[in-house]
Amino acid sequence: MSYLIPTTYPPESELNMSDQITIPAELWTTLDQEHSSGTPIFVVLDSGAVGRLRPAVPADHLSGDSCRLPEWMHRMLIPQERDDDTWVSLGVCELPTAGTVVLRARQEATLTGSADPVAMLTAALSGSDGLSWACLTTGSELPLACGVFDVMEIRSVEDFVVPAACILDCDVNLEIVRALDRQPTPVPEPEPEPEPEPTQVGKFVPFSGVGRRLGGP
C-alpha cells in the first residue's frame, strides 16, 4: 500500500480522459519489480476508483510524495468540502475480466449523433480517437472524446456483478441505457369510464287496479 497526495492533470491534458495515474518513477520501479507480469499495474483508491499506473517523466514535474489523477477520478476521490492535500492510499489489485458493461450517456445527443453508438464507444475505449482504457469502475464518470458517460454496471465474464474490471484484450458486451437527459415517454392517463345511467323503475300508482264495489253484483 502506498500513500500519496493526489493532484490533477492540467485541464488541457488528454490524460483527463483516461484511467491512468502517474506516480513517482522510483515508486513505479519498485512496484514493477514486485509485479513484473508484463501487464498493466492496477490500483484501487480510497474511493473505490480503479486506475492503471504510469511512471512520471521529468517533464511531469511530479514531487516524490504526489500522484497525478484524471479530473473525473479526483472528483470521485476528494469531495468538495475536503482539502486537496489529503493523503490517499493506492493498493495494487487484480481485476476480473469484464464480460458486460452497462453505460448511460449524459446527453441523448451523444447517441443520436452516431449511426452506430456501440461502434463509436468501442472505438473510443480502444483508443482509436484518443487514449485507450484498460479498466472501468462501476459508478464512475467515463469521459470520452465522443461524450461523457456513466458506468452503471459491470459484470465479469462469469456474469457476476463486480465493482471494477479489466477491459483489455477481451470481447466486451456493451449495453446502453436511456440517456440521463432523455425525458421519459409520458403515459397517457386512462379516460374516465362513463357514469352508468340510472335504471328506470316503474312508478307505483296506488289504487290503479279494477275497483269492486262491496255488495255489488
pLDDT tens-digit series, residues 127-147: 877 789 999 999 999 999 888
Q: What is the dihedral of CA 66, 68, 72, 76, to 10 degrees?
A: -20
**C-alpha radius of gyration, the chain, whole number:** 33
Mean pLDDT value across the chain: 83
Predicted TM-score (pTM) of the model is: 0.78
For the chain, list the domains and their CATH numbers.
Answer: 2-93 (2.40.40.50), 98-177 (3.10.330.10)
Confidence band, pLDDT 50/70/90 cuts, at residue 186: low
Res. 86 pLDDT band, cuts 50 70 90: confident
Residue 155: pLDDT over 70: yes
User: Is residue 114 within 8 Å of residue 120, measured between CB atoms?
Assistant: yes
Q: Is residue 162 classed as helix, strand or coil in its secondary structure?
A: coil
pLDDT given at position 179: 85
- pLDDT tens-digit readout, 8-46: 999 999 999 999 999 999 999 998 888 766 688 999 998
Which SS3 state, helix, strand or coil, does residue 98 take?
strand
Where do the DSSP E strands lie in 110-172? 135-137, 141-144, 147-156, 164-166
pLDDT interval class at 69 (50, 70, 90) = very high
More confident residue, 106 or 184: 106
What is the pLDDT, as a whole number, of residue 72?
94
